[in-house]
Structure 1
């Protein structure tokens, strides 16, 4: 009986600790030009998750309109070479994107499913996940193996508070210096260029 009680106690303690183990601890990596980028370790991955936050001086509807131009979004997404809409069904959209990478790293591509939902506070969240088997692999590209993240846009006064959070398993071999640079540059440059595009008269 004593051993059974001990096992039961360990299980209950484990249940209490599990949420703590999964909780992300964010460390600010860059805070410039009104854009804050934070990074977090991800259990079982050598690549960090990134989170970028900024305030865009425009209504949420205008931010969404710029985001929903899938092909045009390539102009402000970091290192985007080409992007196209694959299909749209209800609140779900599928996209295909090709990314530039510095030599000698093989360029990456990704197929994403984006699910949009609206909150009671007027916010809009766009959850991002990979759908790599939707299209055959392209010659000359490494398909990104895993993507998990979201865009969240919350009305704030006359502007929109935007959060962009992602964790990626890029597939293949990526040098640590490039991975470490990407997780800071991707959210910072993406949010900076999105803000410029949205706030343009």
Structure 2
């Protein structure tokens, strides 16, 4: 009996294989990988690093949304618009002022997907764009329509350190050429992870 029908069925059920991640840079203890999804015009970007701080310390920095103007690169405005389910769901607005391009802002719905108990498991927060509670668009500020991502924190060395994964898939929009947007994403992702590492390990 031929295996071809079975293999064809498996392909249909599981979908086509996703593109492989390719390493872009490895610097300052941070590994950056990228891949372009099927039909996509910009790359998904993922950065990983081992941070010399417990997961709870890293988590506090990531979740301190109202202070992103102090901790996150290029952040000009940041505020929580809504908090639901005892903080498990957050609606967040952020305005970014990066060099050489128009300002961008986005509104995202952030969900706590953690599986964490007594220092074991993982801490995870993921997000997608939302229009919930969105403030009016401002002149001279491009509203970002695609912004998906997550932070994943996994304990290492008996919880004294954290293996951090930061994933982002976003299109800055506007008139920015796609290749410039792609390059900007590959630069900004490690910059953000570097900032989180800095404030997580600050004594």
Q: How does 1:25-64 map to 2 (within 5 A)?
A: 25-64=20-59
Name the TM-score, length of structure 1 as normaliser: 0.85
Higher helix share: 1
**Conserved in 2, the CA contact under 8 Å of 1:132 and 1:145?**
no
Alpha-carbon spacing, 1:10–1:81, altered in 2? closer, same or farther (3 Å): farther
Counterpart for residue 194 of structure 2:
192
Counterpart for residue 98 of structure 1:
95
Q: How does 1:129-140 map to 2 (within 5 A)?
A: 129-132=128-131, 134-135=133-134, 136-140=136-140
Alpha-carbon spacing, 1:10–1:144, altered in 2? closer, same or farther (3 Å): farther
CA RMSD of aligned residues (A): 2.2
Counterpart for residue 151 of structure 1:
151
CA distance in 2 between partners of 1:180 and 1:18 (Å): 31
Counterpart for residue 170 of structure 2:
168
* Aligned with 2:69 (options 47, 67, 74): 74
Shift, 1:67, TM fit: 1.6
CA distance in 2 between partners of 1:11 and 1:95 (Å): 46
Shift, 1:98, TM fit: 0.6
CA distance in 2 between partners of 1:10 and 1:154 (Å): 40
Counterpart for residue 111 of structure 1:
107
Give 5+ residue unaligned stretches, structure 2: none
Shift, 1:14, TM fit: 6.4
Name the TM-score, length of structure 2 as normaliser: 0.85
Aligned residues, how many?
Answer: 192
Give 5+ residue unaligned stretches, structure 1: 1-8
**Conserved in 2, the CA contact under 8 Å of 1:132 and 1:144?**
no
SS in structure 2 of the partner of residue 123 of structure 1: strand
Shift, 1:187, TM fit: 1.3
Once superposed, which parts of structure 1, at least 4 consecutive aligned residues long, lie more than 6 Å away? Answer: 9-12
